A and B are shown apart, each in its own frame.
Chain A
Amino acid sequence: MTTTSGVSRPPELRQPNVLRHFGQWLRNPGFISASPTLIFFLIGFVGPLIIVLGFSFVPERTFGFHGDWTVENYVHIISESYWISFAWSFGLAAATVVCCLLIAYPVSYGLARIFGRWAAPVMLVLVIPLFVSENVRLFGWYLVLLKGGGILAGSTKFLFGLDTGTLLYSPGTILMGMVYVYLPYTLFPTTLGLSLVPRDQMDAASDLGANRWQIFREVELPIAMPGILIGSLLTFVLAIGAISEAKLLGGANIVVIAHSILHEFTYAQNWPLGSAISMFAIVITGILVILVMRRLDLDRLLGRK
């Protein structure tokens, strides 16, 4: 006898397993409606990344997946001097974010609170350069900063008899170019973040005796922070992949990581090593992005709560 009473237990309900859950999910009209976009996303975005990932594990200077798998490309990156390129790329990207924030914050504040009806024309002036190719804009800076007959050097020589010497080919010039190119990507999310700060809360803080610095630190900055973080993140990720600034304004005296990847995919014809450097950069950038995203409340920024 296994039962202590004469009452039999009801049969156990069959628990849905993972496979069944997945099947139900596949039959969900929402999933079915989204599937064309999902397929497009998988083929167009995830697919190439998987190919790049695969290439990073094949022997150097091979062009297919028929060889043995190897990690020698990653070993090569660590054992050779690629850390210099990574350090330059990440360092310049971080410096670009800091400079962009320092410039963007006051401008955003003006756009959100002060400029009033002039905000739209100011915004237009800031947006218009984005209609022109980045390379063309940077070449414009090259012509401005060039020694001798350059626009700046020629003008100062003509007007004041001053010889500016060379202003190109230095890390500072590269940083200037990057700040110029990526400023809008910090500016607009920061403006959005600042425009979400309710005037009433600032007035209330003021009425309760907070000074300007306290209002900034305790009210304005926390509320605007999601916008600032998104702008910083966007700028950082784009700046990691920057190449034209270092090549044109920096005279390639610095080889950034995108330039190293370009070397391997073109003249070196070493797709596996180029893929491994790309994956390395993606992973490091991804980790940094995840760390920042954990601090970010998208629902709050988008007004969903």
Chain B
Amino acid sequence: MPDPILKLEGVYTNIAQYHILQGVDLEVPRGAVTMLLGRNGVGKTTTLRTIIGHWRAHKGRILLDGTDITSMPTPAIARAGVGFVPEDMGIFSDLTVEENMVLAAVSGPIDSARLDWIFAAFPPLKTFWKSEAGNLSGGQKQMLSIARVMAEERQLYLIDEPTKGLAPAIISTMAKALKDLKDQGASILLVEQNFAVAKALGDSANVMDDGRMIWSGEMQQLATDAELQERLMGLSLEAH
């Protein structure tokens, strides 16, 4: 495998007295979508939050393009080119859609071609450009959350359950936007519970259980092996 954009080596993360990550090893290849799968509460979100620096790794190393970012502050990790879409969207409700987008582009004004691409992927954002983000629907808020991370080119995109709780029509819009991002050669680490989306987007997959990585391989292999899915995640994803 070529040099990965992100590498986690034996990462342990504790939150208060809880040992959430217990030696996570993970490699995210460049220009591909890496799925992070597993049941609820196994440490997927904590893995993403440890990478972005919200939670500190107590042991182990996190390397971004060969640079150790384990103890870097969150803003420095973000400015190093890591874009993060949290599970709760984290939009700024009191600001307008435009202001949310402007804030997301930390290195300067958003390139107009890029903005056109974002509007094409998420047309409601153009419609509600001057509206307060808090007035958007749930799906539109998720669109804004993804669009913010797309406002600039990043080395790596960390995206946590982008289709959670969304209507099917919005899910397909979201999946198409992520496919666009992938086709542009972006490196993405994606936590996703919707198997159809995971199968359509994922190049490789990593399955977690109890704070550890228990399986890594091709997404295609996992998608076609119901027995493997049952063994790793306790259910067949096709039936999910």
Q: Do chains A and B stick together as partners? A: no
Which B residues have a C-beta under 8 Å from some C-beta of A? Answer: none
A residues in contact (CB < 8 Å) with B: none
